[in-house]
Amino acid sequence: MTQFKSFALSDMGFYRKKNEDAFALIDECAFFVLADGIGGHPSGDVAAKQAVKTLCELIKEKHVQFLKEKIHIEKIKRAFKTLIHQTNEHVFTLSQSKQLLLGMGTTLACAYFFEEFLVYAHVGDSRIYRIRENELEQLTQDHSYVQELLDQGLISETESKKHVKRNVITKAIGTKMHVQPSIQLSECQEKDIYLLCSDGLHDVLTNGQMEEIINRSDDLEIAANLLINAAKRKGSRDNITVLFIEKQ
């Protein structure tokens, strides 16, 4: 059975009155998830918590089935699309039930390890990175207005960090009845480290800065604290959440 070390840390930051990020680490299912409630809405934290809770409940049921039936990894990937659709429908339906919840939404990033594979998915601008042999690689591409400009070559990476619309996302969990998540597969290697984070971190730190901090950290807890402190020193105006998984 694949073994992991995991650690997560969330910080409200200097500017927000509450923490609208949510996360869960389910080591026994090799499942890890993070959500960042949409800012500017009074119930962003509700959306994030509901998305995490719902997806965790669904994966706990499916994990037993995956193990029992020895399902092929491609089928697991397809199953994840259904699970995220169900999570989205739950949050959207909840948002329609009360005026206070109307319009709430959240990003989502999750990782599921099965045998030698990783299935990872995201909606919005929460990211997943992999650190392999001390090199950090961004595995996900943001569903955001700024990412679309980057893809078209209209702005540079440096310009994207200061763009007035850098926090505008083009997809979210719960804002519509249907959502199309990005879901991918990757083969894992021993000692791989994976990082899930909210935009409170990557808005202000470059990939190079994150790589340097992680590589000089003795363990995951130290790395998480150093990353959050660095983001706060850089002036992050959002909640900051980091979630690490290291494959043993």
**Two structure tokens written together for 5:** 């070390």
The terminus-to-terminus CA distance of the chain in angstroms comes to 10
The domain locations on the chain are: 4-247
pLDDT of residue 131: 98
Write out the chain's pLDDT in tens, 248 residues. Answer: 568 899 999 999 998 889 999 999 999 999 999 999 997 778 999 999 999 999 999 999 999 999 888 889 999 999 999 999 999 999 999 999 999 999 999 999 999 999 999 999 999 999 999 999 999 999 999 999 999 999 999 998 888 878 888 889 999 999 999 999 999 999 999 999 999 999 999 999 999 999 999 999 999 999 999 999 999 999 999 999 999 999 98
CATH number of 4-247: 3.60.40.10
| CA 25 to centroid of chain Cα atoms | 12
Report the DSSP pairing between strands 21-26 and 31-36: antiparallel
Please, which residues have CB within 8 angstroms of residue 19's CB and are 6 or more apart in sequence? 10, 11, 12, 45, 239
Q: Are the C-beta atoms of 57 and 33 separated by less than 8 Å? A: no
Residue 27: C-alpha distances to residues 121, 177, 192 (Å): 18, 30, 16
Residue 100: C-alpha distances to residues 42, 44, 48, 97, 242 (Å): 7, 11, 15, 9, 29
pLDDT of residue 248: 82
pLDDT of residue 118: 97
pLDDT of residue 42: 80
Return the half-sphere exposure (C-beta side, CA atoms, 13 A cut-off) of residue 201: 31
Q: Are the C-beta atoms of 21 and 37 separated by less than 8 Å? A: yes
3-state secondary structure of 212: helix
Whole-prediction pTM: 0.95
pLDDT of residue 2: 63
pLDDT of residue 46: 97
DSSP bridge pairs for 7: 244
Q: Are the C-beta atoms of 146 and 165 separated by less than 8 Å? A: yes
